[in-house]
Amino acid sequence: MPITKARINLGAVVERVRTKNELVQLEKGGITVATIVNSEYLEDMQDALDLLISREENRSEEFVKWSDIRRKYA
């Protein structure tokens, strides 16, 4: 959606995003420059990104095999 059109209809655009969970991409000169999203959607995306980062950080940790633990303490 062109930014000028969104500006004129901002109330309606925000209502669509809020009630229908639409993502509205704002364009300037035919190029997408921003997106309006529902705040809950944004929070969900941030949580998913945090989870992915946490998994990647922990992936590099070396895990001890169960067979090695049993052998050590048996």
Question: Do 70 and 51 meet the contact criterion of CB atoms below 8 Å apart?
Answer: no
Question: Which tens digits make up the pLDDT trace of 53-73?
Answer: 888 877 766 777 888 888 888
Q: What per-residue confidence (pLDDT) applies to 68?
A: 85
The pLDDT value recorded for residue 67 is: 87
Domain presence at residue 30: yes
Question: Residue 18: inside a domain, yes or no?
Answer: yes
Contact 4, 21 (CB under 8 A): no
**41 within a domain of the structure (yes/no):** yes
Paired residues of 25 in beta bridges: 35
| 32 inside domain | yes
The residue segments making up the domain with residue 32 are: 3-61
Predicted pLDDT of residue 71: 86
67 or 28: which carries more pLDDT confidence? 28
Does a structural domain hold residue 36?
A: yes
Show contacts of 22-27: CB within 8 Å, 24+ apart. 25/1, 26/1, 26/2, 27/1, 27/2, 27/3
Is pLDDT of 5 > 70?
Answer: yes
Domain count, the chain: 1
